[in-house]
């Protein structure tokens, strides 16, 4: 998704002229503001959204307008500064940004409704709203300066890094590592080989995006993989669409089926945690099977989420050295790998390290959890605006060629089937008690 460049030499001006670096600066600005807010208690700055579980419009917007206005102004100023320094038209961006913000608010409005919130998240509504506009009346010219998909995505991913805490790995120990870390790379490799060699899909970035979304954690992983592989927006749109559809299907069906056949809650929770794509959906599915299943599912998924940065890093290097390399040309050197490497991943990793090794030990797990609830709000807003932007930039007629005869669908179905089988096998070996002792968890 990154723009192509012609030189591999680092220049200090890149730190203020390139979007990847600005994503890091803006992401850490938000994180630092939240840390100061939490530690000092002198002010509160929240990423306000419509209230969850509303039944009437009045309930949805009750008391949030001051916070929404503050959020619009502050984030608008931060993003506009970045646009200005990077050489863009700050005036046009500033005038268009409120429209993107309002469209994202509408997506949150629908996704937080009492019934809908359990099935369709903001990503679905944001994509749908953007696609509806672009494929009917067309995206207005005056909005386009603020349609900056990658800008919002990368900033959100840096903030997401703070949520990937090393302490989560310890909660389920080697059991969680075995289920989440052993299976995931195998599924990614399997889907890559199946998509490129069996299905012979022409868009290799689409293959890796679907593979990563299927094997790690859905939308967030798809976004990271798309940025690392420089995928087209259409590739990401298809991957997210497939992920959202099957996430809902699996979230509803798996706990019903597993409960009906009497599967052990710990085994069932681990299986769902390793296979259902979205973290929120995993929690809901696990809780539907019982509190123990819910706890195990959440822990497996959180451990799996740690792989986002690692896999994105590996994808960036793999695409730079193998996929995008001229096979008849010289080997790609370290300088070119560095230049092609998406720098926002450095921010993602840095945020994870800072929160895992500095913030959590300093203020404790409980306070860190409360702090991350605040940062997640901002990450959600930036992702939502990114999905709005993707929709506004996408046209169904242009996207038709990316269907590739249904190959992306087959890639997902076969890959997810393999993921389900392998995850169950590993989870059963670790948690059935036949080989290893069953861990004791307090519910």
Query: Minimum mean pLDDT among 52-56, 179-183, 234-238: which range?
Result: 234-238
Query: Per-domain residue ranges for the chain?
Result: 14-431
* Residues 6 or more apart in contact with residue 413 via CB below 8 angstroms: none
Q: Which among 139, 422, 164 has a CA at the least distance from the CA of 309?
A: 164
Task: Transcribe 102-162 into DSSP letters.
Answer: HHHHHHHHHHTBTTGGGT--HHHHHHHHHHHHHTTT---TTTGGG--HHHHHHHHHHHHHH
pLDDT for residue 378 is more than 90: yes
Highest mean pLDDT among 118-132, 154-168, 377-391: 377-391
pLDDT of residue 404: 60
139-148, 232-241, 365-374: the lowest-pLDDT one: 232-241
pTM of full prediction above 0.85: no
pLDDT confidence bin for 8, thresholds 50/70/90? very low
For residue 364, report the phi and psi dihedrals to the nearest 5 degrees: 95, 160
Cα separation, 268 vs 294, whole angstroms: 9
> What Cα–Cα distance (Å) separates residue 213 from each residue in 116, 191, 222, 413, 417?
23, 11, 5, 12, 14
| Residue 338 three-state SS | helix
Whether the per-residue pLDDT at 28 is higher than 50: the answer is: yes
Tens of pLDDT, residues 116-125: 877 777 877 8
pLDDT of res. 289: 85
**pLDDT tens for residues 80-125?**
999 999 888 999 999 999 999 999 999 999 988 988 877 777 877 8
Task: Decide which of 51 and 124 is more confident.
Answer: 51
pLDDT tens digits along 389-401: 888 887 766 666 5
């Amino acid at each position: 998704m990154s723009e192509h460049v012609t030189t591999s030499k680092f220049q200090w001006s890149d730190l203020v002229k390139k979007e990847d670096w600005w994503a890091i600066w803006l992401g850490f600005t938000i994180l630092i503001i939240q840390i100061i807010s939490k530690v000092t208690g002198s002010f509160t700055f929240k990423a306000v959204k419509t209230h969850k579980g509303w039944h009437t419009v009045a309930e949805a917007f009750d008391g949030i307008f001051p916070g929404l206005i503050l959020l619009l102004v502050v984030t608008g100023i931060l993003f506009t500064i970045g646009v200005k320094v990077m050489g863009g038209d700050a005036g046009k961006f500033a005038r268009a940004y409120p429209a993107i913000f309002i469209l994202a608010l509408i997506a949150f409005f629908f996704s937080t409704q009492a019934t809908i919130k359990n099935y369709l998240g903001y990503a679905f509504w944001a994509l749908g709203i953007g696609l509806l506009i672009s494929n009917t009346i067309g995206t207005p010219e005056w909005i386009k300066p603020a349609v900056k998909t990658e800008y919002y995505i990368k900033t959100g991913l840096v903030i997401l890094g703070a949520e990937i805490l090393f302490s989560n790995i310890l909660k389920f120990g080697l059991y969680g590592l075995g289920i989440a870390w052993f299976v995931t790379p195998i599924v990614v490799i399997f889907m890559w080989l199946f998509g490129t060699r069996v299905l012979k899909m022409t868009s290799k970035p689409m293959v890796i995006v679907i593979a990563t979304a299927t094997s790690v954690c859905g939308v967030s992983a798809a976004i990271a993989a798309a940025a690392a592989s420089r995928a087209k927006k259409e590739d990401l749109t298809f991957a997210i669409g497939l992920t959202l559809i099957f996430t809902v299907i699996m979230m509803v069906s798996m706990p019903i089926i597993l409960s009906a056949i009497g599967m052990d809650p710990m085994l069932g929770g681990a299986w769902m945690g390793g296979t259902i794509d979205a973290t929120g959906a995993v929690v809901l599915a696990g809780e539907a099977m019982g509190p123990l299943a819910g706890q195990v599912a959440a822990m497996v998924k959180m451990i799996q989420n740690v792989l986002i940065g690692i896999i994105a890093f590996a994808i960036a290097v793999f695409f730079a050295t193998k996929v995008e390399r001229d096979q008849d040309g010289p080997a790609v050197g370290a300088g070119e790998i560095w230049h092609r490497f998406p720098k926002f991943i450095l921010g993602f990793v840095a945020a994870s390290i800072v929160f895992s090794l500095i913030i959590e030990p300093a203020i404790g797990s409980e306070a860190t959890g409360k702090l991350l609830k605040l940062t997640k709000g901002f990450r959600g807003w930036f992702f939502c605006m990114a999905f709005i932007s993707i929709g506004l930039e996408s046209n169904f007629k242009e996207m038709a060629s990316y269907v590739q005869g249904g190959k992306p669908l087959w890639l997902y179905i076969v890959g997810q089937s393999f993921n389900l089988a392998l995850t169950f096998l590993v989870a059963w070996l670790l948690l059935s008690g036949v080989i290893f002792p069953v861990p004791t968890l307090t519910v």
